[in-house]
Amino acid sequence: MKQLVLATGNLGKVKELSELLAAFDLEVLPQSHFKVSDVPETGTTFVENAIIKARHAAYITGLPAIADDSGLEVDFLKGAPGIYSARFAGERATDQDNINKLLKELEGVPESQRTARFHCVLVLMTHADDPTPVICHGKWEGYITTQAVGENGFGYDPVFFVPTEGVVSAQLDKSRKNQLSHRGKALQLLSTKINKKLGQ
């Protein structure tokens, strides 16, 4: 079974990816398994940051690597929080801190101007010097509510309203969210390309 390193310490992402790639005879391991340190995300786009993380993990481990960079783009805020989604309210911000800041910035803004989308970019590199990484981009359209509701998910899920479902992301069950979400879409794209890239 071929090993693949996932450039994240998030075990939820490792589990999600392992399940999706189960049909490909791949063992997906978190970078923490190899004691890979986090690398500074110095890029200005989701694509750049995902490449930085994948290259670093591939370089340290010598294995093919997948990295994810994702975030929320709000039209009224000219694309913010964007690549800074996880630290919108500061370096050590909690999910709640970030939600509070977002709702404050959108205070009084009408629903029609609260459009937003989640982005997820997944990058697969066969080695650290791979000149042609596979890049898969998924996005999920919605808008920002005026208050947080729901118990599921994480990040901005409690304020991201999904028009097709009539609820916020945090009110969706996990399987439905995986079908609709930006990460789910990017993973589906990746699953169509992974065999060719890894020569399986």
CA distance 46 to 32: 22
Q: Kindly name the residue from 38, 68, 69, 95 that is annotated as catalytic.
A: 69
Strands (E) across 36-149 are located at 65-74, 115-125, 134-144
Asked if 74 contacts 144 with a C-beta cutoff of 8 angstroms, the reply is yes
Asked if 32 contacts 6 with a C-beta cutoff of 8 angstroms, the reply is no
Asked if 128 contacts 57 with a C-beta cutoff of 8 angstroms, the reply is no
- From the list 9, 13, 54, the residue with the least C-alpha distance to 183 is 13
Three-state secondary structure call for residue 144: strand
Joined tokens for residue 114 = 């609260």
Q: Is 69 assigned a catalytic role?
A: yes
Q: Which helix (H) or strand (E) holds 60?
A: helix 46-61
Residues annotated as part of the active site: 69
